[in-house]
Every structure is written in structure tokens, then in C-alpha cells.
Amino acid sequence: MSMHAKHLIDCVSEKKKDLLREVGSMMTIKDALTKENKTLKDDIQTLPRGGLNRFISDKNTTIAWFPNFCNF
């Protein structure tokens, strides 16, 4: 095998390793987001009847506070 061919094979092999690492990182991020999404869905389902406004009222907080809090 020529040196040029060996060099190309080594480069491709290295790129493949890099791509596999990147895919692994992306899967880790995807898993974390999926878990967070499930947690948020569970949290929403555990809100008392009446939804978020009722939840805020139950916490002795004025409803007027909430929209101001959400203005970013």
C-alpha cells in the first residue's frame, strides 16, 4: 500500500472517530432534552384544577404578577 493511500485511510478513520464522538454527544443532549420534556409534562399535569393561574392564586400571589414576570 502506498504512503498516500495509508494516509488517506488514516484520515478517514480519524474523521469517523470524530463523527462518532459528535453523534454520541448529540444523543446525550437529546436524551437530556427528552427527560426534561417529560418532567415538564409531568409538572403541568400535576398543576391543580384551574391551571397555572389557580396555582399562582393558591400560592398567595396576585394574578397580575404573572404576566409581568413573563415579559422578557
- The answer, as to whether pTM is greater than 0.75, is no
For residue 60, pLDDT over 50 is answered with yes
- Overall number of domains in the chain: 1
Average pLDDT of the chain to the nearest whole number: 75
pLDDT of residue 72: 43
Task: Print the domain residue range for 39.
Answer: 3-70
The mean pLDDT value for 51-61 works out to 58
Confidence of residue 44 (pLDDT cuts 50, 70, 90): confident
User: Nearest CA to 55 among 43, 69, 71, 68?
Assistant: 43
Q: How far is CA 26 from CA 12, 15, 22, 34, in A?
A: 21, 16, 6, 12
